[in-house]
């Protein structure tokens, strides 16, 4: 339908004008010393208002580029001239630009050159060449660049010809989101994209979505004072009203759209569409003026050689009308036109179906397949490592569990053995409890280095210390005890080593642990206390130091020993 309009608004929103050739052109003296920037800026300024002046700037850029052997500026000059041309010279300028771009090996210029070439062919209805050029451009375009999104938008237009509405909509939405991310909502490109969405939703019979974009597009076009976009959006609005069988409103809106298009020489194909729907409404209401509108549609198609599937439907109506009134010549004429239209549509559709599938959809699917395979491989690799690490963790946990189980079993065994040993009320006689050998309370004397008298005296004092259970005093230490025994710290320490076969700390811990073991065996009420309370009774400041000493002396823990005592008692 509105193919040409979409392209006019796309890609730098080029206007098509007649252009003179650079042949015989002489740079004006006033521009001879101007920089390229000073030439390109006024070109853009005059492009839509004064094509003659813009053409001088374009030719000057091209001439100075050739003179300075600046390939980039030569390519720019050809592109500028292309934007001013609407005849075959437009294509020649693009071919020249692409040739220079290949020489430069500049992918950006090659992408843009082929993109413009695709737009030229699309406007002429040569879809096979349009597709080829757009696909060539995609090969050069940088992913996620503006050119990349525009090219995919153009593919969406071609898919629209095949009535692949959902795929077209997705490509148009991608471009819309790109423009919004780049704050380009007040550009002609954005309005063009909104128009494409409005029309495609209408063709897909999603009228609510279509009208939403019509409303947005009209708002933007009024802000930008763009009459052509307004005319085309009115056209979509009229089609939507027709589809909802609001024929009065549809006729009014469509006639407004047709007048705007005619008065301003806008896109003739959209005029054909507008006149077609007007003709349909008149025909359905038995208004003979439908004939003039449908004949207008035919004349536009014959002149432009550009047709859509909906415009084709004008011909059966014309053929049927002339058949009814017996005008065989006109009937034959429109049959021939219908056959010509079908030939164009079949050729375009068959080609597009095959080529888009082969050169656009299939590569995309293959690329998606590669991404999925890569993603799955990555996930499998990650899963392999997760399983491997998980396996190691499980093995480690199992090892720790087994080690802990063995340790618990050992604690239980030692605790059980400790409960079965004899109970002695006198701490000095407790010599056969199952304590660790290296800490066994044996009074093997090392070679004496102290006087026998003093040693015997200290031995009696230590015996008294043990009988009176003074080792349960939390404050007792080597310094305090040496003062009580009227000796010095070093002398007492050496005496304990010789008399008890261990240092003072070991001696003190053994006394306390032997005492509390005996107490736990004989006093069931003590078994009901907390470990901290039991530690306090054994002369320890905290449960941790008590537990550590108990474990070191017995190879089990207080909790296991108490549990074993309770089980044996039961």
Give the closest residue to 515 by CA, choosing from 414, 430, 415. 430
Identify the burial level of 179 via C-beta atoms within 10 angstroms of its C-beta, where 0-12 means exposed, 13-18 middle and 19 or more buried.
Answer: buried
Q: What are phi and psi of 441, to 5 degrees?
A: -80, 80
Torsion (CA) 192, 193, 199, 203 in degrees, nearest 10? 150
pTM above 0.85, yes or no: no
In this prediction, residue 294 has a pLDDT band, given cuts at 50, 70 and 90, of very high
Tokens of 292: 């003039």
Give CA–CA dist 294/279, Å, rounded.
6
Q: Which of 264, 268, 265, 198 is nearest to 237 (CA)?
A: 198
Quote the tokens at residue 248. 């009065």
* 293 occurs within a structural domain: no
Are 262 and 300 a contacting pair, CB within 8 Å?
no
Q: Is residue 258 part of a domain?
A: no
Residue 293 backbone phi and psi in degrees, to 5? -65, -40
CA distance 91 to 363: 28
Give the separation between CA 246 and CA 248, rounded to whole angstroms: 6
Residue 271 CA to residue 136 CA, distance in Å, equals 32
Report whether 128 contacts 154 (CB < 8 A): no
> What is the domain count for the chain?
1
* Residue listed under structure tokens 């439908």: 290
For 415-433, the pLDDT digits (tens) are 888 887 654 434 433 334 4
* pLDDT tens, position by position, 211-258: 999 999 999 989 888 888 899 999 999 999 999 999 999 999 999 999
pLDDT at 429 (0 to 100): 38
Question: How far apart, in Å, are the Cα atoms of 418 and each of 508, 513, 557?
Answer: 20, 12, 11
Confidence of residue 7 (pLDDT cuts 50, 70, 90): very low
Rounded percentage of the chain residues whose pLDDT exceeds 90: 34
Does residue 497 fall inside a structural domain?
yes
Looking at residue 499, which CATH number applies to its domain? 1.10.10.60
Asked which of 84-88, 102-106, 315-319 is least confident by mean pLDDT, the reply is 84-88
Sign, Cα dihedral of 474, 476, 479, 484: positive
Tell me what pLDDT residue 6 has: 46
Q: Is residue 218 part of a domain?
A: no
The reply to whether 166 falls in a domain is no
**Exposure of 33 in the CB half-sphere (CA atoms within 13 A):** 2
Q: Which residue has the tokens 């006149």?
A: 275
Rounded-to-integer distance, Cα 251 and Cα 216, Å: 22
Q: Does residue 397 have a pLDDT over 90? A: no
Residue 523: CB partners within 8 Å, gap ≥ 6?
none
> Is 560 within the bounds of a domain?
yes
Residue 483 covered by a domain: yes
Per DSSP, the residues of 205-217 read T-HHHHHHHHHHH
Q: Is residue 325 over pLDDT 70?
A: yes
Q: Give me the pLDDT at residue 89, please.
A: 84
CA 457 to chain CA mean position, Å: 87
pLDDT in tens, 182-215: 999 988 889 999 999 999 999 999 999 999 999 9
How far apart are the C-alpha atoms of 277 and 248, rounded to whole Å?
Answer: 12
Give me the domain span that covers residue 461.
Answer: 420-569
Tell which wins on pLDDT, 308 or 230.
230
| Average pLDDT value for the chain | 83
DSSP SS3 for 350 = helix
Dist CA 235 CA 214 (whole Å): 10
**Could you tell me which residue, 552 or 21, shows the higher pLDDT?**
552
Q: Is residue 89 part of a domain?
A: no
User: Residue range 84-109: average pLDDT?
Assistant: 88
3-state SS, residue 554: helix
User: Is the model's pLDDT at 448 over the cut of 50?
Assistant: no
* pLDDT per residue as tens digits for the range 456-513: 888 898 999 999 999 999 899 999 998 888 888 888 899 899 888 899 999 999 999 9
């Amino acid at each position: 339908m509105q193919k040409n309009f979409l392209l006019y608004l796309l890609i730098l929103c080029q206007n098509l004008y007649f252009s003179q050739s650079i042949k015989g052109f002489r740079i004006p003296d006033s521009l001879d010393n101007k920089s390229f920037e000073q030439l390109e800026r006024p070109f853009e300024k005059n492009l839509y208002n004064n094509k003659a002046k813009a053409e001088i700037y374009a030719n000057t850029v091209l001439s100075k580029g050739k003179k300075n052997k600046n390939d980039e500026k030569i390519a720019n000059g050809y592109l500028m001239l292309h934007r001013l041309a609407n005849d075959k010279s437009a294509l020649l300028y693009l071919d020249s630009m692409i040739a220079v771009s290949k020489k430069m090996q500049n992918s950006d210029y090659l992408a843009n050159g082929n993109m413009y070439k695709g737009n030229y062919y699309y406007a002429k209805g040569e879809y096979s060449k349009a597709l080829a050029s757009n696909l060539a451009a995609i090969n050069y375009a940088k992913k996620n660049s503006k050119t990349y999104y525009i090219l995919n938008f153009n593919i969406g237009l071609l898919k629209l010809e095949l009535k692949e509405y959902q795929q077209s909509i997705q490509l148009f939405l991608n471009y819309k989101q790109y423009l919004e991310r780049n704050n380009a909502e007040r550009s002609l490109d954005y309005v063009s994209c909104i128009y494409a969405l409005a029309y495609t939703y209408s063709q897909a019979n999603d009228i609510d979505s279509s009208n939403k974009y019509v409303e947005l597009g009209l708002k933007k076009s009024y802000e930008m004072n763009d009459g052509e976009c307004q005319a085309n959006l009115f056209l979509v609005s009229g089609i939507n009203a027709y589809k909802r069988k609001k024929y009065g409103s549809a006729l009014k809106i469509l006639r407004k759209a047709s007048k705007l298009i005619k008065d301003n020489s806008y896109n003739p194909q959209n005029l054909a569409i507008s006149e077609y729907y007007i003709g349909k409404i008149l025909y359905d209401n038995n208004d003979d003026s439908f004939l003039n509108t449908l004949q207008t549609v035919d004349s536009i198609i014959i002149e432009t050689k550009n047709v859509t599937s909906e415009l084709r439907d004008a011909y059966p109506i014309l053929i049927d009308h002339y058949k009814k009134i017996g005008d065989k010549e006109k009937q034959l004429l429109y049959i021939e036109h219908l056959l010509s239209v079908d030939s164009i549509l079949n050729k375009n559709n068959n080609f597009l179906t095959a080529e888009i599938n082969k050169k656009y959809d299939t590569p995309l699917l293959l690329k998606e397949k590669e991404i999925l395979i890569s993603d799955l491989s990555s996930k499998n690799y990650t899963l392999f490592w997760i399983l491997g690490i998980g396996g190691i963790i499980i093995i480690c946990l199992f090892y720790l569990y087994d080690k802990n189980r063995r340790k618990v079993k050992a604690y239980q065994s030692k605790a059980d053995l400790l409960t079965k040993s004899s109970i002695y009320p006198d701490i000095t006689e407790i010599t056969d409890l199952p304590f660790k050998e290296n800490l066994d309370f044996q009074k093997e004397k090392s070679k004496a280095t102290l006087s026998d008298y003093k040693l015997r005296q200290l031995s009696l004092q230590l015996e008294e210390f043990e009988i009176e259970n003074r080792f349960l005093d939390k404050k007792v230490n080597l310094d305090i005890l040496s003062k009580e025994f009227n000796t010095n710290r070093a002398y007492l320490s050496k005496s304990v080593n010789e008399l008890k076969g261990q240092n003072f700390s070991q001696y003190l811990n053994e006394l306390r642990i032997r005492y509390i073991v005996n107490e736990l065996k004989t006093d069931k009420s003590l078994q009901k206390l907390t470990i901290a309370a039991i530690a306090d009774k054994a002369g320890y400041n905290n449960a941790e130091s008590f537990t550590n000493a108990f474990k070191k002396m017995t190879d089990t823990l207080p909790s296991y020993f108490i549990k074993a005592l309770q089980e044996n008692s039961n």
